[in-house]
Amino acid sequence: MPSELNARVIAVIARMQKIPVDSVTLDKTFQELNIDSLDGINIMFEVENEFGIEIPDEEARQIRTVRQMAEGIEKLLALKQA
């Protein structure tokens, strides 16, 4: 069962891509979800708003999967709380 963070990331991606939540899993790549670079930028902005974080541009460019996004957000949230 995905953690709350994973579920929130998946929900944002599904909402932004207008696809069913159950079609988004941690193991999906952005390519498999038909997320192009513009969609990716919009999803990053939405995720930043959802979690109250700022994803550094260099890290954002390296995100290619739902799992990478969730793990990156988890790290940023941990740093924010430290």
**CATH assignment of the domain containing 33:** 1.10.1200.10
Q: How many domains does the chain have?
A: 1
Q: What is the pLDDT of residue 8?
A: 97
Tell me which residues are annotated as active site.
Answer: 36
Q: Residue 12: is it exposed, middle or buried by C-beta count within 10 angstroms (0-12/13-18/19+)?
A: buried
Contact residues for 5 (Cβ-Cβ < 8 A; gap 6+): 70, 73, 74, 77
Residue located via tokens 């949230």: 77
Q: pLDDT tens track of the chain, all 82 residues?
A: 359 999 999 999 999 999 999 999 999 999 999 999 999 999 999 999 999 999 999 999 999 999 999 999 999 999 988 7
Q: What range defines the domain where residue 53 resides?
A: 4-81
Q: Model-level pTM?
A: 0.92
Residue 50: CA count within 13 A, CB half-sphere: 22
